[in-house]
Structure 1
Amino acid sequence: MTRIDFHTNVGDSLLYACRLARKAYQAGQPLVVLAEPARLRAFDERLWTFSPLDFIPHCMADNALAKETPVVLTSDLESAPHHQILLNLGATVPAQFARFERLLEVIGNAQDELVAGRERYRFYRDRGYALNNYKQGA
């Protein structure tokens, strides 16, 4: 069963997601990042600028190098080349999240993120998934 970790009260969710991507990369764990296209573009830009001393190799899932790249960005899980860790930056439950060993949900402090995050939390809980909660700033 997929392990699901909720990271809440993170403030800037894209910045926090960059830190999670860095952690996965440094641990040698392939990561797929899922989001709507506009949010994915914003995350891609953030990966290039969030830390002047870090480089996180990443590409879009339709890139020819996606299978060899440790961090893959996509808005469609059908094209995901890895199935270890999924980082969901989207507003909805990923349709194929159960294909992954681990799912990371990042919930920022914006009202829309809080509402969508609560809905996803209930969805997973109601289906019997054990949920791990990591509340930042608490």
Structure 2
Amino acid sequence: MTEVRFYHNAQDRLEAACAITTKAVRAGHKVVVFAPDASTAQRYDNLLWTRQPLSFVPHVAASSPLAARTPVLIARRAEELVHDDLLLNLADDLPEGYTRYAQLVEIVGTDEASRVTARERWRFYKQQAHPVQAFDLSKGNS
């Protein structure tokens, strides 16, 4: 059963995603970041390169020949979701194949549109009997 974690009240979803990714990699997890839109994928990739110059997080596109040896993969299509450890969802809907992951992370911004789609996903995960936890980023929880 996939454990689902919602991190809400993110002032910047991509910054929060980078911080959560860094923490997960340091804890020994392999992370697939699902970012189906090219702009989001590129901005996330750039942030991982620049946000903490002295603590680089190895990452590549899921289609890269180095994917099997890299702890963080950025996937733009559902069929690129190759690891089965931790999936970080940057889409506004459910990623296909999410149930094969041990953990799924959802990051919710502060805007109402982000909250509405997150509530729908929360209800869906609960209906599917996934254990769901919430963490409020405005209170420093991560």
Count of aligned pairs: 138
Q: Distance in 2 between matches of 1:43 and 1:112?
A: 20
Q: Distance in 2 between matches of 1:83 and 1:112?
A: 29
> For each residue in 1:93-131, what CA deviation from the matched residue of structure 2 results, as whole angstroms up to 9, or x when unmatched?
111100101101111113322222111111111222221
Percent pairwise identity? 35
Scaled by the length of structure 2, the TM-score of the pair is 0.91
Q: Distance in 2 between matches of 1:52 and 1:67?
A: 24
Q: Distance in 2 between matches of 1:14 and 1:27?
A: 20
Do structure 1's residue 30 and structure 2's residue 33 form an aligned pair?
Answer: no
Unaligned 5+ residue runs, structure 2? none
Shift of 1:39: 1.0
Do structure 1's residue 3 and structure 2's residue 9 form an aligned pair?
Answer: no
Alignment match, 1:51: 52
Shift of 1:90: 0.6
SS of alignment partner, residue 109 of structure 2: coil
Unaligned 5+ residue runs, structure 1? none
Residues 34 and 81, structure 2, Cα contact 8 Å, conserved in 1: no
Alignment match, 2:125: 124
The residue identity in structure 1 corresponding to 2:19 is R
**Which shows bigger deviation, 55-64 or 31-40?**
31-40
Shift of 1:42: 1.2
Q: RMSD across aligned C-alpha pairs, in angstroms?
A: 1.2
Q: Distance in 1 between matches of 2:90 and 2:54?
A: 24
Q: Distance in 1 between matches of 2:121 and 2:83?
A: 22
Moved over 3 A (4+): none
